[in-house]
A and B are shown apart, each in its own frame.
Chain A
């Protein structure tokens, strides 16, 4: 009786192990695995105007915050609250990817008060001399 139970336990354990290994292999091999920051092209230093965008994004004044967003983003955001005081947003010193076109993206670290830092990539478009936020994506 005890040996039958033991055999059953071994079979269940083997099945669980096989499922876990299969899942891990599937995760590692899946072609839909999102790209990671390591696959990005090497970037450069952010332009001076980007610092102004960051300052406005962190501003407690909603109108000033909104001026750092592209018009459609502003529309989607609506009356959202501003970031909590103490939030840090630091663009990587070598994470800016842009050229003569009006589009650019940058990697950055965002740290909300009391939370662990998070890695993100931001997308910007240049309008009226300012880089305005198009998207945010967590890495």
Chain B
């Protein structure tokens, strides 16, 4: 009887813990947005990151229920929020902020087998920028709303800093100071923009958010190839003095941004299409701070939500599964990262300057040399994994490999390699090129899996015809392992 009670007690303790683990598979800072959604495995995670002095409800609350419903309506999307509210008055380098987001993204990518789409509001975009320094490969795209990529002019002027405001017209400077003066009427409201400004203006995080601060400059560079949507808000401040200057009222318009973040700062990292600026009707300061283009209200606009849904849909569709940062190639500890010439190119007298279109599109190449510690140029065989930004580019690279490269002057026909012993079929490893004369050239076989090209190369020795059937079993086993592992991580195998 006592044992039964003990078991019941144990079960009582375990069930909630297990349910919690299922609810929060990536730790206490990552929470699913309320509502039904598919299981994480195999889904496309969209992770919402809030801003300064905020919390997960700012992105994941009921006020954005319509956006959540629309995102969930996209195929296989699961919605999550990253919460750092307990330390949201700290700079992004805090272990519970930037590094924690990197861990969260990695976790979601591994658990889902898909790259994550990150949506950030305000400083959340800078948190994301920090995390991208280590988990770029786990991210399919980022959308930001009102992120101060270059800092906040309003905060800078509020701190008496004029360096960043050097390019401002005198009138713009006046408008920002007028905004700070109006804020005195709202600064006791903790959830208001003015309350936030008042709370952080004399804090280290407030100094970090000034224009072109050393802290912002120290962030990792934004990845140029990453699909990005940046949304900025702008309400023109229609400054007017008509009562105390009658009968000659004066009017002037100033671009105030949202007004915590200027348009140029919010879109500073946008290098291609994806820059969306929402303009509201000009008005007084009260309107500047409360319009639907203002910092806190911007993400609630229907047009912004349309942009976000369209972006997520496109990013989810165009981004094939790629190697998550946590992906480990078998025996990778024996490998070397190769970013220069391919060893076989050197062996075939190609120059680094030779035009190889697929190389310029290559994001990464990992070369693993067999046997352990061997020199790529001298080793008899090795395999390499190259990743590209999308399936089409990887397919182009594979076609180049198959066709041979013009710099070698050795056009080789694609041949099927009968590989059956390793667990992947002929169709999975269907192309090969023989380079050089049999017996003394290089022999390569390649296949594409998603946006990656896996290539096996060996230097035949006294073989009348290169044939993978005669390859070192260790190499075949390694290739098999890699292919299986990639398939398990969500490649379209």
Interface residues of A (CB under 8 A from B): 31-35, 39-43, 57, 70-73, 75-78, 80-81, 83-84, 89, 97-99, 101, 103-105, 110, 112, 118, 120-121, 123-125, 133-138
Kindly provide the distance from the CB of A23 to the nearest chain B CB, expressed in whole angstroms.
17
Q: For B188, list chain A residues within 8 Å (CB).
A: 41-42
Contact status A136-B243, CB under 8 Å: yes
B9 within 8 A of A: no
A101 CA to B244 CA, complexed, in Å: 25
Max count, chain A CB within 10 A of own CB: residue among B177, B186, B247: B177
Kindly provide the distance from the CB of B419 to the nearest chain A CB, expressed in whole angstroms.
63
Q: For A135, list chain B residues within 8 Å (CB).
A: 178, 181-182, 239, 241, 285
Kindly provide the distance from the CB of A72 to the nearest chain B CB, expressed in whole angstroms.
4
Q: For B185, list chain A residues within 8 Å (CB).
A: 40-41, 43, 97, 105, 121
Contact status A81-B171, CB under 8 Å: no
B451 within 8 A of A: no
Stretch at the interface among B12-20, B80-88, B286-294: B286-294
Contact status B250-A77, CB under 8 Å: yes
Q: For A34, list chain B residues within 8 Å (CB).
A: 283-284, 286-287, 290
Ranked nearest first, the 3 interchain pairs of A and B with the lowest CB-CB distance are A123-B181, A72-B174, A97-B184
Contact status B292-A123, CB under 8 Å: no
Contact status B244-A57, CB under 8 Å: yes
A70 CA to B287 CA, complexed, in Å: 22
Max count, chain A CB within 10 A of own CB: residue among B170, B185, B292, B300: B185
A101 CA to B284 CA, complexed, in Å: 22
Q: For B174, list chain A residues within 8 Å (CB).
A: 70, 72-73, 76, 134
B173 within 8 A of A: yes
A-B contact pairs, 7 of them (CB 8 A): A77-B250, A83-B244, A103-B158, A103-B184, A112-B246, A124-B181, A125-B181
Contact status B181-A104, CB under 8 Å: yes
Known: A31-B300, A123-B178. A76 touches B184 (CB 8 A): no
Contact status A136-B244, CB under 8 Å: yes
Kindly provide the distance from the CB of B284 to the nearest chain A CB, expressed in whole angstroms.
5
Kindly provide the distance from the CB of B488 to the nearest chain A CB, expressed in whole angstroms.
48
Known: A97-B185, A101-B158, A135-B239. A81 touches B245 (CB 8 A): yes
Q: For B201, list chain A residues within 8 Å (CB).
A: 101
Interface residues of B (CB under 8 A from A): 158, 170-171, 173-174, 177-178, 180-189, 201, 239-248, 250, 252, 280, 283-287, 289-292, 297, 300
A127 CA to B297 CA, complexed, in Å: 34
Which of A77, A103, A133, A138 makes the CB contact (< 8 A) with B180?
A: A103
Kindly provide the distance from the CB of A104 to the nearest chain B CB, expressed in whole angstroms.
5
Q: For A110, list chain B residues within 8 Å (CB).
A: 243-244
Given contacts A80-B245, A97-B185, A123-B285, 15 further A-B contacts (CB under 8 A): A32-B292, A34-B286, A40-B186, A72-B170, A76-B174, A76-B239, A76-B241, A77-B250, A80-B248, A83-B245, A83-B246, A103-B177, A137-B182, A137-B284, A138-B242
**What number of A-B contacts does a CB cutoff of 8 Å give?**
126
Kindly provide the distance from the CB of B179 to the nearest chain A CB, expressed in whole angstroms.
8
A121 CA to B178 CA, complexed, in Å: 11
Known: A32-B292, A34-B286, A75-B170. A134 touches B181 (CB 8 A): yes
Q: For B246, list chain A residues within 8 Å (CB).
A: 83-84, 112
Q: For B243, list chain A residues within 8 Å (CB).
A: 110, 112, 118, 120, 136, 138
A42 CA to B189 CA, complexed, in Å: 11
Contact status B177-A70, CB under 8 Å: yes
Kindly provide the distance from the CB of B186 to the nearest chain A CB, expressed in whole angstroms.
6
A104 CA to B430 CA, complexed, in Å: 74
A125 CA to B187 CA, complexed, in Å: 16
Max count, chain A CB within 10 A of own CB: residue among B201, B283, B284, B300: B284
B201 to A, closest residue via Cβ: A101
Contact status B240-A136, CB under 8 Å: yes
Q: For B283, list chain A residues within 8 Å (CB).
A: 34
Contact status B290-A133, CB under 8 Å: no
Known: A105-B181, A133-B244, A136-B244. A32 touches B186 (CB 8 A): no
A73 CA to B251 CA, complexed, in Å: 11
Q: For A121, list chain B residues within 8 Å (CB).
A: 182, 185, 286
Q: For B252, list chain A residues within 8 Å (CB).
A: 76
A116 CA to B338 CA, complexed, in Å: 79
A32 CA to B171 CA, complexed, in Å: 25
Q: For A75, list chain B residues within 8 Å (CB).
A: 170
Contact status A31-B297, CB under 8 Å: yes
Contact status A72-B171, CB under 8 Å: yes
Max count, chain B CB within 10 A of own CB: residue among A34, A77, A89, A110: A34
A110 CA to B246 CA, complexed, in Å: 12
Contact status A125-B171, CB under 8 Å: no
Contact status B290-A35, CB under 8 Å: yes
Kindly provide the distance from the CB of A93 to the nearest chain B CB, expressed in whole angstroms.
16
Q: For A72, list chain B residues within 8 Å (CB).
A: 170-171, 173-174
Q: For A77, list chain B residues within 8 Å (CB).
A: 241, 245, 250
Kindly provide the distance from the CB of B282 to the nearest chain A CB, expressed in whole angstroms.
12
Contact status A41-B250, CB under 8 Å: no
